[in-house]
Amino acid sequence: MKLFHSPASPYVRKVVVLLHELDKTDAVLLETVATTAFASDEGLKAANPLGKLPALQRDDGVTLYDSRVITGYLDAHFGGGMYPQGAGRWENLTLEATGDGIMDASVSMSYEKRLRPENEQSDGWVEAQWGKVSRTLDVLNARWMSHLSGPLSMAHISVGCALSYLDFRHDARNWRDGNDALAAWHKEFDSRASMQATQPPAA
């Protein structure tokens, strides 16, 4: 299998962290592509008409895309057990979606400042996206710590990669301020070998 890959993408990182946790990194070839929302890589567009990362080309030629589809497939394919089916299933799926939502808002902020011409940038848009992130961090810190303290699942990986992306692109926002429990959890999670092996390049 082949994964269209960019080391700076938090969505791609979710997939690669999962492969590390399952000890299956040798089963998937990483094909690094240089792509942006305004200039998608041609090979990536051929695999995924949306031109978005990540995209997983399976051995039968069928390409899967959207990080949650890919992680769900890989977990099932390798029997990873990262998607609990019993008690807590829906909470875990919601928590994974919460981490992905933080990525959505924070990546949108990055695109606005890094890709759009300065005279076209909207500070109001950026602050609206940060408002989503900030509210979500507060809720994670107040209501979800018991779930984050449970057995490892894709929910943990999603939230961990989302918080690390905030460090990567939005460190000046100081997301840890007022979120002590979440910050302590992330410090421990970020020390995992899978997270250390998938750190993005310097911003």
Q: What is the pLDDT of residues 27-76, one digit of tens each?
A: 999 998 876 666 677 777 777 777 788 999 998 878 999 999 999 999 99
Which residues pair with residue 4 across a beta bridge?
31, 55
**What pLDDT score was predicted for residue 11?**
96
Q: Please state, rounded to an integer, the average pLDDT across all residues of the chain.
A: 93
- In terms of pTM, does the model score above 0.85? yes
Nearest to 114 by CA among 190, 53, 17, 38: 38
Which residues pair with residue 65 across a beta bridge?
55
Mean pLDDT of 128-132: 98
pLDDT bucket at 116, cuts 50 / 70 / 90: confident
**What pLDDT score was predicted for residue 46?**
74
For the beta sheet containing 55-57, the strands, ordered from the edge strand earlier in sequence to the opposite edge, are: 29-32, 2-5, 55-57, 63-65
Domains and CATH numbers, the chain: 2-78 (3.40.30.10), 89-193 (1.20.1050.10)
Task: Decide if 68 contacts 54 (C-beta within 8 A).
Answer: no
| Helix (H) or strand (E) run with residue 64 in it | strand 63-65
